[in-house]
Structure 1
């Protein structure tokens, strides 16, 4: 039975006498996930979860498995929003070290298996897309992807404490956006056509504003605005990148106003809104797969 309780303490519990908070070393909490959260990883994670966790946490991770219902406290609901506040490194440490009634899984699972498990568990607390998905010709997704590529390069430059994006990188983004404007949605149905034109207009405005950014802080504000448009567009239309985009959040950025950014993997390496990891640990909000 002990081997079936991977996630009992991964998320908060509401028992009468909750366990003391986990004491996780800071450098362990910041451990980056080296395994891309693609379909293959999530499938492997699901297999592990079904074998090791579902009896306690339930098939959907709600803490309602047949064994879990007999435990005090009950296993946590892995779909709760609080799960998004825990870094991949925190989850990895908890699965590895364990704490009664949760067993230690370090000896039982390889590091890669633990990362697969985390990638699957993340699907339980990923917010539902707030925008309808549309099926559009590949040309639209390709054109949006052409915007995403220079966008990601600019993000990597902003994440470099010693540098900043070059004028050529911003110019490549502007050129890709100009090309996107050539697709006017005339060959789409009414709803996706309207959504595409809205995306094009918002992206144009955000990139025009970025041209006024004269220093790195201003560039970060501009980048945040561009991110929000691209993230919404990807949720609606998809992309053709090889892999999954990860939408990250930094709630403490801009004096608590918050900011978001996209990465093409879940390595947590491009947090552009902080100077030290403790200021704003990267938090994956949503995995945006291509369509």
Structure 2
């Protein structure tokens, strides 16, 4: 009898886990202008808001010709005649290629100002494994790292001095960081791999279901009214993660020589509902002309990624 209960428990867990993984397996790409979002699957239900192309939202469920979508702060139903359902189980290779091309174009012409001098190998994503072996070991091998490029889709985040979107910068940063981590044996997962919108709850659910060893939410700061402000901030919530914050923050400062704005305990959504060791990183001010120019440089992203990698190596030793 006990064995039967045990097996039923295991099967139930697997079923629930599988359903959870599939919650955001599809996206609805909006194709109709001012498309009504209703509080039920039918025209008899009230309109709660409107959406427009080319916005894209996770699909929670489908009922006939209707799809329930997650808008972040609310949920509602849209008619599928005015949207297309996109399977979202594989990373967007095209988007990742676009990111790599953008970095290649910007990285060759931009220098790192106010940062440490970079060696000849600073733009080679695989040089970490052979550079002096300082602080580098096998502690990242097999570790699950969830990278969360902040914002995306209709949520562009902060807007830089040049007009660049934070959501694009965070995605580029995550792609470069992933290269570094994977070169050291980590299993890296991105909460978004293209320019789509992903609700905050989905991001943390992704990390929790993966049982990620570390979750890093990547952001950039902006204070247009104070364009001279610059530097790196690192936020954590649980005291459990204070040491992780110190290692990662220290690594970034050491490798980039950026202005150190410190480590702070803060109640942020992606940290509060996250059951995994987690940090939110503000990796510079895109409202500062010099820092935004640095962020557009592949060399700077390489240096920042080395710092994060070295901090994680320390944490896992």
User: Fold conserved (TM > 0.5)?
Assistant: no
Greater helix share, structure number: 1
Q: TM-score, normalised on structure 1?
A: 0.26
TM-score (norm 2): 0.24
